[in-house]
Structure 1
Amino acid sequence: MNWVYLGAAILFEVGGTTMLKLSNGFARLQWAIPALALYAVSFFALSLALRRIAIGVAYAIWSGIGIVLLAGIGAVYFQETLSWEKLFFIALILVGVVGLNLAGGH
């Protein structure tokens, strides 16, 4: 169940960050307020995951997968560029996340 909480924390954080982008620096409250709510839910879910998952592993997975998902969202929905260099370093983040899991961090 702890991994489900971590997955939920990741998804809510990605949603919150996407809405934060849409809020245009908190100028659009219709996006800023839900962004804050999603961040609150994300942190709550992360706190539940931390009951059984090591903090370093949980945070690395939470932030690493969030980075990967948000890079994709940025490219698809916000027309942000993903150069080969950026893709390479995003792949390294994924390798690190997988490595942490394979190292028995759970």
Structure 2
Amino acid sequence: MSLAYLFLAGTIALEVVGAIASRYSDGFTRPAPTAVTVVTIVGAYYLFALALEEGLGLGVAYAVWAAVGIVAVTLIGVYALRDRITRVQVAGVVMTVAGVLALELGG
């Protein structure tokens, strides 16, 4: 795996942590989850910039980030946080992943 993809994996991991922390920030009124959200999102964009500097194309890298982040946050939400998800929403997640695969395989 190239360094660019390691940076992208770090981007995704930080963004997922930030998204989950934002749920607990209570509208950015709770200091600790708010700080975690801000630090991880800024860190995610920093690593994303490094991934782009290493040669990943902006469109494909952003699509991969978004799709993997959507799947990860959805799974965490459903299985760990007891969020509900409908069949239509599952189909939307599947179509998002399919679109990213098309971008990746089309190049």
Tell me which interval the TM-score lies in, with the shorter structure as reference length: over 0.9
> For residue 93 of structure 2, what is the aligned residue in structure 1?
90
Q: CA RMSD in A?
A: 1.0
Residue aligning to 1:5:
7
Q: 5 Å matches for 1:8-87?
A: 8-51=10-53, 52-87=55-90
Q: Where do 5+ consecutive residues of structure 1 fail to align?
A: none
CA distance in 2, matches of 1:103, 1:5: 22
The AA in structure 1 aligned to 2:37 is A
Deviation of the 1:78 alpha carbon? 2.2
Question: Normalized against structure 1, the TM-score is what?
Answer: 0.92
**Cα displacement string for residues 30-80 of structure 1 (whole angstroms, at most 9, x for unaligned residues):** 111011111111001000111211111111111111111111111122221
Give the TM-score, by structure 2 length.
0.92
SS in 1 for 2:91: helix
Structure 1 letter corresponding to 2:77: G
Unaligned runs of 5+ in 2: none
How many pairs does the alignment contain? 104
